[in-house]
Structure 1
Amino acid sequence: MIIQEGMNMMYNIIAIEREYASGGNEIGERVARWLGIPCYGQEVLRRAAERMQTSQDRLLHLEETTSNSLLYSLGMAMKVMTGERDGLSEEGALYVTEERVIKDMALQGPCVIVGRCAGWILRERTDVLRVFIHANREYRKKRAVEEYGIAPENAENTLKKYDWRRSNFYHANTGMAWDDKRGYHLVLDSSAMGISPCVKAICGTAEGK
């Protein structure tokens, strides 16, 4: 592993899963700025699309339509374990490619990775801090309207749609419940704490303070 000069962190990789409009992306970016390390979110998808020679829109569609039974035949599981893409469905090939991208990112040095099962993918490493960000529905609907331009009358359905997609993708690829708090070191309520205190809590934990 390459460690950046001057870094002295208990956790070199911070993997954040988040409910839609809970502020998880903003928190990840601010944590990265605080610690002086890169933050990867959409970059995972961009690199995966480049490796698979397809568009990011196509990969987003595959993520959204992932089947809960995607990887859980013995043959599929073995292919994923060995990193072999031949014979996998498009969805399976996407997961294997994103897995490789995330592992490559982690090998380059300390970073924040938002979404895409990063904590699970890097579960064998002992220097990965797994974080889940959630918030109450009114807070999230307000952020969806103000930050993402969602029409107020569509906010509730938008929350449900994106939470379902993230939960389904996570379960399909890991066999675990996306929002099972036992899978994380830190579970933070951004509506109760605020964005800045969440950032401070994550940075303090990563630095061992």
Structure 2
Amino acid sequence: MNTILTIGRQYGSAGHQIGQELAKQLNIPCYDKELLDRAAKDSGLCKEVFENHDEKPTNSFLYSLVMDTYSYGYSSSVLSDMPLNQKVFLAQFDSIKKLAQEGPCVIIGRCADYALEDNPNCLSVFIHADLDKRIRRIARLYSLTDAKAKDKIIKTDKRRASYYNYYTSKKWGDLDSYNLSLDSGLLGIDGTVSMLKYAIDLKEKNCKKKIFDCEPKV
């Protein structure tokens, strides 16, 4: 298996649990909050910095500087002059690429699909669910009223969308931004995991077929 699966998710859609269960069944690593540890280690910045900026929208400036800097490489002196939020994004972006080079894995959120969009092994998915089902899930998990759960969901989704839309050339949750979109409210957690395993299997088989078709006939 060579596939790196990236998961974008609506809050309350069980995207984290789905990613963890899939990774467990496939016996591969799953990175969610773990990515913050890796980025901190790779960059030398403290973990608390990444936690404070994790998937949070940035001030709307210097985006082009960040991406140009990443495209052309960056020195420690250039990095030291950047605003903290830009350093955090670049460090995560870099760590995601390094993790993908280490082998198959599941990476949740943090614009991973964008960081790996040129990687032929990447399969990007967006997990969503009906709002009412997400409200019930969050209310149950955190012992909240439905009203408070709904407010938490709306605010979290807005924050994730702002972060994703700012740092990528795509739109959070839009069908065109991902290879696959699945309704976990309809499929359930186990059903969604099964669908992802099936999708990965199809992708792997298709890649092998392309390689075989390109080989000279003897």
TM-score between the two structures when normalised by the length of structure 1: 0.87
Name 2:45's counterpart in structure 1.
53
Name 1:71's counterpart in structure 2.
63
Name 1:132's counterpart in structure 2.
126
Q: Number of paired residues?
A: 197
SS state of the match for residue 107, structure 2? strand
Name 1:114's counterpart in structure 2.
108
Higher helix share: 2
Change (3 A) 1:125 1:55: closer
1:161 CA displacement: 0.8
* Counterpart residue type for residue 20 of structure 2: E
Name 1:205's counterpart in structure 2.
199
SS state of the match for residue 168, structure 1? helix
Once the two structures are aligned, what percentage of the paired residues are identical? 32
Name 1:179's counterpart in structure 2.
173
Name 2:31's counterpart in structure 1.
40
CA distance in 2 between partners of 1:61 and 1:112 (Å): 23
SS state of the match for residue 124, structure 2? strand
1:169 CA displacement: 0.9
Name 1:5's counterpart in structure 2.
none
Name 2:208's counterpart in structure 1.
none
Q: What's the CA shift string for 1:1-59, capped at 9, x where partnerless?
A: xxxxxxxx3x5100000000101001101111111111110011122234343243x32
TM-score between the two structures when normalised by the length of structure 2: 0.83
Cα-Cα RMSD: 1.8
SS state of the match for residue 188, structure 1? strand
| Counterpart check, 1:153 vs 2:140 | no
| Counterpart check, 1:80 vs 2:74 | no
1:83 CA displacement: 4.3
SS state of the match for residue 103, structure 2? coil
Change (3 A) 1:65 1:169: closer
Higher Rg of the two aligned structures: 2
Change (3 A) 1:65 1:52: farther
1:70 CA displacement: 4.5
CA distance in 2 between partners of 1:82 and 1:150 (Å): 47
* Counterpart residue type for residue 15 of structure 1: T
Structure 2: gaps (5+ residues): 206-218
Structure 1: gaps (5+ residues): 1-8
